[in-house]
Amino acid sequence: MKPICLGSMLVFSLSLAGQCLAQEPVNPEGERLFRTRCGTCHSVNSGENRMGPHLSGLLGRSAGTIEGARYSKALGGSGIVWDEERLQAFLANPRQVVPGTTMTASIRDEAQRSAIIAYLRSLSAAN
């Protein structure tokens, strides 16, 4: 075969491989936990608010800043910038971290919190 044909075939093959890899869940356990523990109230799709705000791009974002989402005055005025440490504490006991928050769900298991946070981080890294 001519070198140009081989090069074209290689580029095409690599592009298909990238598409196949992109379809694999980055963190299947974190995704499963997110869907079962958080997905009723939150989405990971930007602009898709539910009872709570979407969590797309959450890490590094200031609490209470998603347009169109409903927040308690307490969370909106908290000044929190979400990082892994803050999320660990908030998910373990939202009302202790932000007294007056309307979020009542908590995740007591640290391994589950870590898996969910890793899932959210992987979504940010993928974008």
Enumerate the β-bridge partners of residue 62. Answer: 81
pLDDT tens-digit map of 29-68 = 999 999 999 999 999 999 999 999 999 999 999 999 999 9
Sign of CA dihedral 116, 124, 39, 85: positive
Tell me which architecture the domain covering 27-126 has in CATH. Orthogonal Bundle (1.10)
User: At 124, is the pLDDT very low, low, confident or very high (cuts 50, 70, 90)?
Assistant: confident
The two tokens of residue 53 are 């705000």
Q: What is the pLDDT of residue 26?
A: 73
pLDDT of 12 strictly over 70: no
Lowest mean per-residue pLDDT among 1-15, 31-45, 88-102: 1-15
Q: What is the pLDDT of residue 10?
A: 47
| Domain boundaries along the sequence of the chain | 27-126
Other Cβ atoms within 10 Å of 122 Cβ, number: 14
pLDDT of 8 strictly over 80: no
